[in-house]
Amino acid sequence: MNENLFIGSEALPGLGTLLSRPAVSQVFVLLDANTARCCLPLVEGQLPAGYTPIEISPGEEFKTLATCEAVWSSLTEAQADRYAVLVNVGGGVVTDLGGFCAALYKRGIAFVQVPTTLLAQVDASVGGKTGVDFLGFKNQLGVFQEPLAVCIEPRFLQTLDPRQLKSGYAEVIKHWLIADAEAFARNRSIGVMVDDWTPLIRESVALKQRIVAQDPLESGPRKLLNFGHTVGHALESYLLTQPGREILHGEAVAAGLVCEAWLSHHKGLLSAQELDQIETFVFSVFEKVQFVTLETEAIADFARQDKKNAANSINCTLLEGIGRGVYNQPVTLEEIAASLRYYHRL
């Protein structure tokens, strides 16, 4: 678990202190076009003179090895050594891809995550997971590598449009559903009408850190954090293959929360009342993801590549009740397709 976690007003000064260490030879800053325009001005005052920006295209479709090659080429051309630091300023695509690039370049250089979306602040940047998509499958390639630091500045959320902000909220809801029933009960009447995100971010990050500390390499309890993601990743991956129908990660996860809550009820783990509470809350925040019934088998087929699977078994994280996740629950492709049909009918 990373000890250099800065949240709130201390985040960017903490970044400046880390980068001013004599042991740091060079500083590179990975951005996409959006964060270069909207977020770099907030960070720039903490960067050393002579830092090198590396800009990539925004969007999940660029979370690929081809983009990694461009980043590695920039580092190589600038003669970055093993004492260089890569600062990843952006959402989940930038932090995932940047961490992956840093972990592999010259067998590993230090990197700092500066997440600028709610999704990245409460989930993607915390826990040491890095990775890129491959052959249409989400995060198919990746490594576990802790960053030098994570610097979470909630002011970045003011640069987001409402859709991006809501996308991150899906991961917050997931944390409540797997491990904090009281927070779910407290917040489901509030939704995204939040004036100050800092306390909620602190609470959500602390919950994730407690789980990760028990199981850094995801062989057991850390799998709880994948609730909503077996179906969510399948849906997201499928729609990425359909030009013009791409959705945000959090929108796919929100759909996955409903589908996997239904699977929990279907298997006798979750009451009908709790399923209704989850559905009502999710749909109070998120619009329904559009697909047709005939697509459900094709969507479900993407779950064959889910990283929690073992042998020929699709392993899912389900709920034994709100606030009580349970991992390694076998489901079939037919059950996943059935959950998607249930979601489609709602």
Whether 163 is a known active-site residue: answer no
- The span from the CA of 253 to the CA of 242, in Å, is 18
**Overall average pLDDT of the 144-156 stretch:** 96
**Overall average pLDDT of the 324-344 stretch:** 97
- The span from the CA of 159 to the CA of 97, in Å, is 21
Catalytic position from the list 249, 251, 260, 274: 249
Catalytic position from the list 166, 174, 175, 233: 233
Give one DSSP letter per residue of 50-99, joined into a string.
Answer: T-EEEEE--SGGG-SHHHHHHHHHHHHHTT--TT-EEEEEESHHHHHHHH
- Kindly report, residue by residue over 278-296, the tens digit of the pLDDT: 999 999 999 999 999 999 9
Domains and CATH numbers, the chain: 5-159 (3.40.50.1970), 180-345 (1.20.1090.10)
Catalytic position from the list 60, 146, 153, 171: 171
Give the sheet arrangement for strand 149-152, strand by strand.
5-7, 149-152, 110-115, 85-90, 27-32, 52-56
Residue 114, burial from CB neighbour count under 10 angstroms (0-12, 13-18, 19+): buried
Enter the tokens of residue 49. Answer: 């003179």
Percent of the chain at pLDDT above 70?
99
Q: Say whether pLDDT at 70 is over 70.
A: yes
Quote the pLDDT of residue 313: 80
Whether 233 is a known active-site residue: answer yes
Which residues lie across from 113 on neighbouring strands? 88, 150
Quote the pLDDT of residue 188: 84
**Overall average pLDDT of the 51-71 stretch:** 97
Q: What is the mean pLDDT of the chain?
A: 94
- Kindly report, residue by residue over 240-282, the tens digit of the pLDDT: 999 999 999 999 999 999 999 999 999 999 999 999 999 999 9
- Kindly report, residue by residue over 175-226, the tens digit of the pLDDT: 999 999 999 999 887 777 788 899 999 999 999 999 999 999 999 999 999 9
DSSP state of 123: I
Identify the band that residue 338 occupies on the pLDDT scale cut at 50, 70 and 90: very high
Enter the tokens of residue 277. Answer: 């509470």
pTM over 0.85: yes
Whether 77 is a known active-site residue: answer no
- Kindly report, residue by residue over 36-52, the tens digit of the pLDDT: 999 999 999 999 999 99
Q: Mapping DSSP to helix (H, G, I), strand (E, B) and coil, where does residue 310 land?
A: strand
**Per-residue CA distances from 319 to 239, 275, 307, 337 (Å):** 26, 10, 19, 19
Catalytic position from the list 146, 153, 218, 236: 218
Catalytic position from the list 63, 222, 223, 308: 222
Given the structure tokens 């925004």, which residue do they identify?
Answer: 58
**Overall average pLDDT of the 73-92 stretch:** 98
Catalytic position from the list 88, 187, 226, 315: 226
**Overall average pLDDT of the 65-70 stretch:** 98
Nearest of 279, 34, 271 to residue 161 by alpha carbon: 34
Whether 309 is a known active-site residue: answer no
Whether 222 is a known active-site residue: answer yes
Q: Say whether pLDDT at 1 is over 60.
A: no
Nearest of 302, 287, 294, 285 to residue 231 by alpha carbon: 302
Q: Say whether pLDDT at 310 is over 90.
A: no
Whether 171 is a known active-site residue: answer yes
Enter the tokens of residue 120. Answer: 């990245």
Whether 208 is a known active-site residue: answer yes
**Overall average pLDDT of the 299-303 stretch:** 95
- 118, 134 in Cβ contact below 8 A? no
- The span from the CA of 177 to the CA of 172, in Å, is 9
Q: Say whether pLDDT at 311 is over 70.
A: no
Catalytic position from the list 34, 63, 129, 138: 129
**Overall average pLDDT of the 142-149 stretch:** 96
Whether 166 is a known active-site residue: answer no
